[in-house]
Amino acid sequence: MMKGSLSHTAAATKQIPGALIFLHGLGDSPSGWSHLQRSLAQLRPRLAELTYIFPAAPMVAISINGGARMPGWFDLLEWPVSVGDPEDEAGLKAAVTQLHDEISKLEESGVPKSRIVVGGFSQGAAVALLAAYHAKVQPANSAPLAGVVALSGWLTMTSDLQVSHNIAKNTPCWWAHGAYDDKVLYAQQAFGAGKLKEHKVNVSTTSYPMGHESCAEEMNDLAKFLDETLFGAEQSEL
């Protein structure tokens, strides 16, 4: 098993077609989202061929909880999470480094970066968005990922956002959010997607009549995006 990951499995085929790295939210663990490996394949059978990685966040002090330590990708300074809130930039960069390490391990195992989708829920989505798009936290001449899936997340470090043309052109983003989210406010979706679109990123957004959570319809849409991104839209219904 890969260190820091709950699951690192692949189909018994000679060529691994792609991978999903999915980061959990604040206070959660990899087991909170490991069901995706089973449920996504049930919705779209070709997704059974993916490698699934569910990294574990470190224990960090969370300011909104009085400094109590819990699994988290970075500190949260305000609650609910609103547009323009102060950010833990050092924590965000450390989380991005951990995600980049997971990507590198996949590449070393034979999965090209162009076949890897990164994503997450809440804090995990924030880290995935930052790692995938912001040139400030990427290695020089970083190659594009296959895509990004952001569930109830937000875009960070936007004051100096820079996205390379190659990544904007080749790394689409699907952003899902609950219209009644009172923890990561719904306005974050329009703000973040808008910022990415300013940099020519192909962003599709979907909202659901729910709070800071997930639902069956969202899972169906997630499976559809992954299937079409990694295998092609023309065969996605087969």
Catalytic residues: 122, 181, 212
Smallest Cα–Cα separation from 210: which of 199, 221, 223?
221
Q: What DSSP string describes 70-128?
A: EE-SS---SSSB-TT----HHHHHHHHHHHHHHHHHHHHTT--GGGEEEEEETHHHHHH
**Considering only CA atoms, which of 157, 83, 155 is closest in space to residue 123?**
155
Q: Which of 172, 189, 179 is nearest to 215 (CA)?
A: 179
> Would you put residue 110 in left (φ > 0), alpha (ψ -120 to 50) or beta?
left
